[in-house]
């Protein structure tokens, strides 16, 4: 009777020990490149920053850029909680302020780009959507971001400017979910950013509307160096790179507007 549990326990202990050893090993045995830079960036920057990472690593041999993408709120919270990062790039002023107020940003962050809303519709615009007022009513179903998240706040600002109240069938957690509702044909229209329309590779068509430039409707992109960075020099180089000509080209191509 007593032998079996002991065997089981021994096996368990071995498994735990192996697991711990494996966890410990993977970090230490990597041959670390001389300089690593960790960049926490808003999810909407995934394509642009991925492209810039390759260019930057070529321009600065011996460096490795690690990109950590997520919602701006999440990233700012992580940095406030002490997550190791050298650069923070958010998709809103408010989230950058969160990190700033916690004393986690070195110097003054830079606003380098903006992103505007568009109405995404199926190619060919079958429901003949023209602007925000044309979305109201049951004949056109639309999906938007929830007001709690940045793209939802922008949507609300645009609605106020247009003097309309939309009747969405769903308020999504993030803008990519809104886009997915349109690409899968489950809604007729969705309020997303110009960059999202571009990234959909022709699966949706973007329709401009005048209120996209209204106060609070456009999204600002800020970048700042995180205080206590391991390599403040490299963090500054990345920021200069992103806000320089190569960054500008990549951002413009993705649909961002430069500031």
Partner 1 sequence: MTRAAPSSPRTRSSRTGSTGHTLPWPVWVPAVVGFGLIAVPVAGLVLRADWPNFLTLITSDAALDALRLSLQTGLTSTALCLLFGTPLALVLARSDLPGLPVWRSIVLLPLVLPPVVGGLTLLFLLGRTGPVGQLLDAWFGVTVPFSTVAVVIAQTFVAMPFLVVSLEGALRTAGDRYEAVAATLGASPMTALRRVTIPVVLPGLVSGAVLAFARALGEFGATVAFAGSLQGTTRTLPLLIYLDSQDDLDSAVALSLLLVVVAVVVIVATRTRDASGVR
Distance of CA 27 to the CA centre of its chain: 27
Please give the residues from 172 up to 231 whose contact with partner 1 meets the rule CB under 8 A.
172-173, 177, 181, 184-187
Residue 111: CB atoms within 10 A of its CB come to: 13
One of 97, 170, 205, 230 touching partner 1 (CB under 8 A):
170
Residue closest to 85 by CA, chosen among 34, 27, 42, 22:
42
Nearer to partner 1, 51 or 173 (CB): 173
Q: What is the largest CA-CA distance in the chain?
A: 79
73 contacts partner 1 (rule: CB under 8 A): yes
Using CB under 8 A as the binding rule, whether residue 124 contacts partner 1 is answered as no
Nearer to partner 1, 151 or 239 (CB): 151
d(C-alpha 210, C-alpha 13), whole Å: 65
CB burial of residue 58 (10 Å; 0-12, 13-18, 19+): exposed
Report helix, strand and coil shares of the chain as percent, to nearest 5. 45, 25, 30
Three-state SS at 40 = strand
> How distant, in Å, are the alpha carbons of 95, 177, 179 from that of 76?
6, 21, 24
CB of 136 to partner 1, least distance (A): 16
Minimum separation from the CB atom of position 9 to partner 1 (A) = 6
9 binds partner 1 (CB under 8 A): yes
Q: Least Å distance between CB 141 and partner 1?
A: 8
Q: Which residues contact 15 (CB under 8 A, 6 or more apart)?
A: none
- CB of 48 vs partner 1, minimal distance in Å: 23
Judged by beta carbon, residue 12 or residue 14, the one nearer partner 1 is 12
Select from 67-75, 99-107, 199-207, 241-249 the region that touches partner 1 (CB under 8 A): 67-75
Judged by CB under 8 A, which of 109, 168, 224, 255 binds partner 1? 168
DSSP state of 149: S
User: Considering beta carbons, is residue 73 or 86 the nearer one to partner 1?
Assistant: 73
Binding positions for partner 1, 138-167, rule CB under 8 A: 141, 143, 146, 148-149
Distance, in Å, from the CA atom of 223 to the CA atom of 238, rounded to the nearest integer, reads: 10
Q: What are phi and psi of 123, to 5 degrees?
A: -55, 135
**At its nearest, how many Å lie between partner 1 and the CB of residue 129?**
16
Question: Shortest gap between Cβ of 208 and partner 1 (angstroms)?
Answer: 26
What residue ranges bind partner 1 (CB under 8 A)? 2, 5, 9, 12, 71, 73-74, 141, 143, 146, 148-149, 168-173, 177, 181, 184-187
């Amino acid at each position: 009777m007593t032998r079996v549990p002991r065997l089981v326990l021994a096996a368990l202990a071995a498994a735990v020990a192996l697991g711990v050893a494996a966890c410990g090993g993977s970090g230490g045995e990597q041959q670390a490149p001389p300089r690593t830079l960790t960049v926490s960036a808003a999810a909407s920057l995934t394509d642009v920053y991925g492209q810039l990472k390759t260019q930057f690593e070529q321009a600065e041999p011996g460096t490795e850029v690690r990109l950590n993408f997520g919602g701006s709120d999440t990233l700012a919270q992580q940095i406030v909680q002490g997550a190791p990062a050298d650069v923070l790039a958010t998709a809103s002023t408010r989230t950058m302020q969160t990190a700033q107020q916690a004393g986690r940003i070195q110097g003054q962050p830079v606003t380098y780009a903006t992103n505007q809303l568009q109405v995404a519709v199926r190619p060919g615009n079958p429901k003949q959507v023209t602007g925000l007022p044309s979305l109201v009513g049951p004949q056109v179903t639309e999906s938007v971001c929830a007001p709690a998240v940045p793209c939802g706040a922008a949507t609300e600002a645009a609605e106020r400017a247009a003097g309309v109240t939309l009747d969405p069938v769903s308020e999504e957690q993030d803008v990519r979910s809104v886009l997915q509702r349109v690409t899968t044909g489950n809604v007729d229209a969705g309020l997303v950013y110009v960059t999202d329309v571009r990234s959909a590779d022709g699966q949706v068509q973007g329709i401009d509307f005048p209120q996209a430039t209204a106060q609070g409707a456009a999204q600002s992109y800020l970048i700042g160096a995180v205080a206590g960075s391991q390599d403040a020099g490299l963090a500054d180089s990345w920021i200069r790179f992103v806000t320089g000509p190569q960054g500008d080209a990549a951002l413009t191509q993705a649909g961002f507007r430069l500031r």
